[in-house]
Amino acid sequence: MQLKSLLAGSAMLALLAGCASGPMEQPQEEVAAAQQNYQGSLPCRNCDGIDLDVTMIGEETSAAEERTFTLNASYRNHPQTPPDENYAGNWEVLTGTPSDPDATVYELTPDGDGQIYYFMRINENTLELIDPERRRFENGEMLQLTRQ
């Protein structure tokens, strides 16, 4: 009987010691994977370019409410000096474009007012701005953002 009590006590002690060490920290690699930042400069008729910075938080497999984004646009040397545009909202994963049924498209929908943005994933490090019908623009290579 004492042997069973000793074994049970040892098992309980080991269990409590494991709990006392506290929660394990999330590895830095996983944190980095949950936040992706893309930057680029888009063409502008009346200025030297529109600097775009997009941060997407969450994974494609995350729940919709966990997939958030921020988008910041700054106009370089615009004659009317418009204010920077800053949006935040949620992003959705769509599949397919008219020319590529397997393409991955991200739909960024801002909270409140603001236009919906569509980006096609070219590869793991590149997104390209596309139109709402999920078609690429003729100058698509000029509309690409690179992962930072």
Q: Where are the domains of the chain?
A: 26-147
Q: Where does 46-136 show beta strands of DSSP type E?
A: 49-57, 68-76, 85-95, 104-110, 117-123, 126-130
* 3-class SS of residue 91: strand
Band of pLDDT at residue 21, cut at 50, 70 and 90: very low
For 51-91, what is each residue's pLDDT tens digit?
Answer: 999 999 999 999 989 999 999 999 999 999 999 999 999 99
**Rounded Cα distance, 24 and 18, in Å:** 11
Where is 18: in which H helix or E strand?
A: helix 2-20
Band of pLDDT at residue 113, cut at 50, 70 and 90: confident
Band of pLDDT at residue 34, cut at 50, 70 and 90: confident
Mean pLDDT over 22-34 rounds to: 53
Q: Please name the residue that has the structure tokens 């474009």.
A: 97
Confidence (pLDDT) at 6: 35
> Domain 26-147, what fold?
Lipocalin (2.40.128)
Mean pLDDT for all residues in the chain: 84
pTM of the model: 0.75
Contact criterion met (CB below 8 Å) for 82 and 47:
no
Mean pLDDT over 4-16 rounds to: 38
